[in-house]
C-alpha cells in the first residue's frame, strides 16, 4: 500500500526522519520509535482546529530538518541515537469518530507489536483512547499505567449524546479495562470542570489526580516522584499523554479549551524529561495543539519540543542502561569537552 502521507499540509516527516508506512511493517521493522499523525478534531466540545496540529508540530523548528537534534541537556542526539520513523497521518474523518478512532487504534497497536514506541501527534484528546488501547493490547490490558498532563480530567461520561469526545477518553480507557483506574496519574488539573458527580466516579476508580493547588503547595517534583512510584507498581510500562493546555494559555494559546493558571512551558518540558528518563515509557501522545488560535507558532513550537524532549530522554535512558557514565543534570555544559 502506498504511504498515505499527510491529511493536511505538505508531506514532511518530523524534523526530517525517514518515512515509513503503517500497513507495511517491513518499512519500520528496525524502529525504536514511530511518529504517527492523528489529525482529528471531531471530538472537540469548544473550538476545533487540532486537525492541523500534526502538521504544525512536525514543521515547528527553526533548525534544518535534517534528522539530527543534539540535546544540550541530555547529551544525546535522539534522532540519530534512536531509529525513528514517521508514518505520516492516519486517515481520520471528523464526521465519523468511531471509524477514525478504530483506525488509529489499529495503527498504534501495529507500531507497538513491531517492538517500537508510538508517538502520536494530535489531534484532540479523544485520540488518547485508541492510542493507549492499541499499546495496551500489545503489552497487556491493565498492565500499562497512564501519566496524564492536562488542565482537564477528561473523565466525562456522555457528552452531546456521544460516548466519545475529548472530554471522555480517560473514563472509556478505565471502563474498557485497558488501563487500571488505580494506575492512572493526572497532573495539572484546574478550573471549574468536572462537577461533583464525575469527581466521585474518579475517586471510586482510585485515580490519583494532582490539582494545581496541590502541585504548587507541594512542588511539582515531589508530586512527580510520588506519581512515578504508583505508575510502576504492577505495570509493564507507562503511556504518557500530554495535553498542551496543561500549560498556561499565556505560554500556549493555540489550544481549544484554554484554562488560565497552568504550568510554564519549562515545567512541562522538565516533567516530560523526567517521565521518559525515569519510567519505562511504551507510548506517548501530544494533543490539543490548535494552530488557528496560536500566536507566532509558540504552541506548535512547544509541542515540537515536547516530542523532542521525550525522544531525548528515552535515548538517554537507553544509553545509561547500556552502561557507561550515567547522566548528571548538574554537569556543566562544557565539562569534558
Phi, psi for 34 (deg, rounded to 5): -125, 125
Helix (H) or strand (E) run with residue 283 in it: strand 281-287
The count of other CB atoms within 10 Å of the CB of residue 318 is 14
For residue 2, pLDDT beyond 70: no
Cα dihedral value 70, 73, 75, 80, nearest 10:
-30
Entry field: residues in the chain = 337
What was the pLDDT predicted at 324?
A: 77
What confidence score (pLDDT) does residue 132 get?
98
Predicted pLDDT at 311: 99
Q: State residue 278's pLDDT score.
A: 98
User: What is the pLDDT at residue 188?
Assistant: 98
Query: Do 280 and 39 contact (CB within 8 A), yes or no?
Result: no
Do residues 188 and 151 make contact, with C-beta atoms less than 8 angstroms apart?
Answer: yes
Cell matching residue 49: 482546529
pLDDT confidence of residue 164 = 85
| pLDDT band, very low/low/confident/very high, at 308 (cuts 50, 70, 90) | very high
pLDDT class of 287 with cuts at 50, 70, 90: very high
pLDDT tens sequence across 74-108: 999 999 999 999 999 999 988 899 999 999 999 99
**Amino acid 211: pLDDT:** 98
Mean pLDDT of all residues belonging to the chain:
96
pTM above 0.85, yes or no: yes
- CA neighbor of 165 nearest in space, from 203, 128, 121: 128
Closest CA to 184 of 194, 197, 175, 193: 175
Those residues with Cβ within 8 angstroms of residue 91's Cβ, 6 or more apart along the chain or in another chain: 4, 7, 100, 103
| Beta strand 184-189 pairing with 84-89 | unpaired
Amino acid at each position: 500500500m502506498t504511504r498515505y502521507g499527510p491529511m493536511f499540509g505538505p508531506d514532511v516527516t518530523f524534523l526530517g526522519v525517514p518515512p515509513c508506512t503503517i500497513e507495511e511493517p517491513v518499512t519500520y521493522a528496525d524502529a525504536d520509535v514511530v511518529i504517527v499523525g492523528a489529525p482529528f478534531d471531531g471530538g472537540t466540545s469548544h473550538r476545533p482546529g487540532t486537525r492541523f496540529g500534526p502538521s504544525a508540530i512536525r514543521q515547528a523548528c527553526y533548525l534544518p530538518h535534517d534528522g539530527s537534534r543534539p540535546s544540550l541537556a541530555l547529551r544525546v542526539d535522539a534522532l540519530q541515537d534512536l531509529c525513528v520513523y514517521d508514518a505520516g497521518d492516519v486517515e481520520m474523518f471528523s464526521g465519523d469518530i468511531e471509524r477514525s478512532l478504530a483506525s488509529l487504534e489499529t495503527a498504534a497497536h501495529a507500531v507497538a507489536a513491531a517492538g517500537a514506541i508510538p508517538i502520536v501527534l494530535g489531534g484532540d484528546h479523544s485520540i488518547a483512547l485508541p492510542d493507549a488501547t492499541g499499546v495496551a493490547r500489545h503489552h497487556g490490558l491493565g498492565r500499562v499505567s497512564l501519566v496524564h498532563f492536562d488542565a482537564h480530567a477528561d473523565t466525562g461520561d456522555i457528552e452531546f449524546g456521544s460516548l466519545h469526545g475529548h472530554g471522555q477518553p480517560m473514563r472509556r480507557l478505565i471502563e474498557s479495562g485497558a488501563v487500571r483506574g488505580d494506575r492512572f496519574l493526572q497532573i495539572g488539573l484546574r478550573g471549574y470542570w468536572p462537577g461533583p458527580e464525575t469527581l466521585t466516579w474518579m475517586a471510586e476508580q482510585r485515580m490519583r489526580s494532582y490539582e494545581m493547588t496541590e502541585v504548587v503547595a507541594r512542588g511539582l517534583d515531589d508530586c512527580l516522584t510520588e506519581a512515578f512510584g504508583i505508575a510502576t507498581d504492577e505495570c509493564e510500562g507507562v503511556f504518557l499523554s500530554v495535553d498542551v493546555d496543561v500549560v498556561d494559555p499565556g505560554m500556549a494559546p493555540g489550544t481549544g479549551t484554554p484554562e488560565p493558571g497552568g504550568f510554564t512551558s519549562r515545567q512541562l518540558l522538565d516533567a516530560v524529561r523526567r517521565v521518559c528518563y525515569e519510567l519505562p515509557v511504551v507510548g506517548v501522545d501530544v494533543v490539543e495543539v490548535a494552530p488557528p488560535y496560536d500566536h507566532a507558532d509558540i504552541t506548535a513550537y512547544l509541542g515540537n519540543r515536547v516530542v523532542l524532549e521525550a525522544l531525548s530522554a528515552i535515548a538517554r535512558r537507553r544509553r545509561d542502561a547500556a552502561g557507561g557514565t550515567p547522566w548528571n543534570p548538574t554537569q556543566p555544559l562544557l565539562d569534558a569537552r
